[in-house]
């Protein structure tokens, strides 16, 4: 009978381990949300140097579209918000180290990132657009870039798009330099983010630049969270849905971009 007793004992132990694992998993899933509610603070990692999403105004106050989205999420969770600033390269590492509960910084939703992290539902979308001087009759589509000078940041996805369409790349450090090169005539076009262009035109509506074409598929961004914190993910998604349905999102979208940037 000893062998039967051993089998029963092993089975009981395995069941106990399984139940324990399920309980532990459930505890971990709700642990972050419970802690945030108890402490009364949602900690958010962000750059603070990426206008109009997260930047400092003339008085040094942290402002921006992403900042206000974070504030609205916290309000709907019933807690205060605390922003912790850092360089882009270290933001995700800070999430891994549990310096904060989430990252809100125009983090693109990609299959690679989704393998390791949770993302909220997308809260903003940006398309690649082809920007030229107003009245340019030679460049009307991405295919027209072939053999023409396009101002691009070499490491960006937009530079890759320009190269794929046969453009001669005029290298620079970012959007502002790109559009200045187009305005000066040193470049004929730039492929860049629709959101950046909307912000630029809102600030400088009289600048003679226009969108000649746009790619159909948009890059979507979401709130970045650690895996296993499903309760927090659920509540953040609920908050984002409320922000969109009660009109808050439309107001923020118009404030920062002058257009609907949700899709």
Number of domains in the chain: 2
Domain annotation covers residue 7: no
Whether 152 and 140 map to the same domain: the answer is yes
Domain annotation covers residue 83: yes
In angstroms, rounded to a whole number, what is the distance separating the alpha carbons of residues 14 and 134?
A: 71
Across the range 130-142, mean pLDDT stands at 97
In angstroms, rounded to a whole number, what is the distance separating the alpha carbons of residues 138 and 181?
A: 17
Whether 146 and 200 map to the same domain: the answer is yes
Residue pair 249/262 in contact (Cβ under 8 Å)? The answer is yes
Average pLDDT value for the chain: 89
Whether 135 and 189 map to the same domain: the answer is yes
Task: For the chain, give the percent of residues with pLDDT over 70.
Answer: 89
Q: What is the pTM of this model?
A: 0.76
Check residue 28 and give its pLDDT: 55
Residue 131: give its domain's CATH number.
3.40.190.10
Check residue 179 and give its pLDDT: 94
**pLDDT for residue 231 is more than 80:** yes
Domain annotation covers residue 263: no
Domain annotation covers residue 3: no
Check residue 24 and give its pLDDT: 42
Domain annotation covers residue 17: no
pLDDT tens profile 21-53:
444 444 455 788 999 999 999 999 999 988 899
**pLDDT for residue 130 is more than 80:** yes
Domain annotation covers residue 243: yes
Chain-centre distance of CA 256, in angstroms?
16
Domain annotation covers residue 117: yes
Whether 106 and 132 map to the same domain: the answer is no
Got the DSSP string for 209-225? Answer: EEEEEEEEEEEEE--EE
**pLDDT for residue 123 is more than 50:** yes
Q: Which residues of 154-176 are buried (b: 16+ CB within 10 A; e: fewer)?
A: eebebbebbbebebebbebeebe
Check residue 230 and give its pLDDT: 96
Full residue range of the structural domain in which residue 166 is found: 125-219
Please give the residue that has the higher pLDDT: either 202 or 249.
249
**pLDDT for residue 12 is more than 60:** no
Contacts of 113 (CB under 8 A, 6+ apart): 107, 119, 224
Domain annotation covers residue 145: yes
């Amino acid at each position: 009978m000893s062998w039967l007793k051993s089998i029963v004992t092993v089975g009981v132990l395995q069941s106990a381990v399984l139940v324990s694992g399920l309980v532990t998993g459930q505890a971990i899933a709700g642990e972050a949300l419970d802690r945030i509610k108890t402490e009364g603070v949602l900690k958010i990692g962000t750059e603070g140097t990426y206008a109009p999403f997260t930047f400092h105004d003339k008085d040094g106050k942290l402002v921006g579209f992403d900042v206000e989205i974070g504030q609205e999420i916290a309000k709907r969770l019933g807690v205060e918000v605390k922003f912790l600033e850092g360089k882009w390269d270290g933001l995700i590492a800070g999430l891994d180290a549990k310096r904060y509960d989430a990252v809100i910084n125009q983090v693109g939703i990609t299959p690679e990132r989704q393998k390791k992290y949770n993302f909220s539902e997308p809260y903003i979308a940006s398309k690649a657009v082809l920007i030229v001087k107003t009245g340019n009759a030679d460049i009307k589509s991405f295919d027209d870039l072939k053999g023409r000078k396009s101002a691009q940041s070499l490491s960006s996805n937009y530079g890759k798009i320009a190269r794929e369409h046969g453009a001669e790349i005029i290298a620079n450090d970012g959007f502002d330099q790109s559009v200045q090169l187009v305005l000066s005539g040193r470049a004929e076009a730039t492929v860049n983010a629709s959101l950046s262009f909307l912000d630029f035109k809102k600030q400088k509506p009289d600048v003679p630049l226009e969108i000649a074409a746009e790619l159909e598929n948009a890059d979507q961004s979401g709130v970045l969270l650690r895996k296993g914190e499903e309760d927090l993910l659920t509540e953040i998604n609920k908050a984002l849905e409320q922000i969109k349905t009660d009109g808050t999102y439309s107001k923020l979208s118009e404030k920062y971009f002058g257009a609907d940037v949700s899709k």
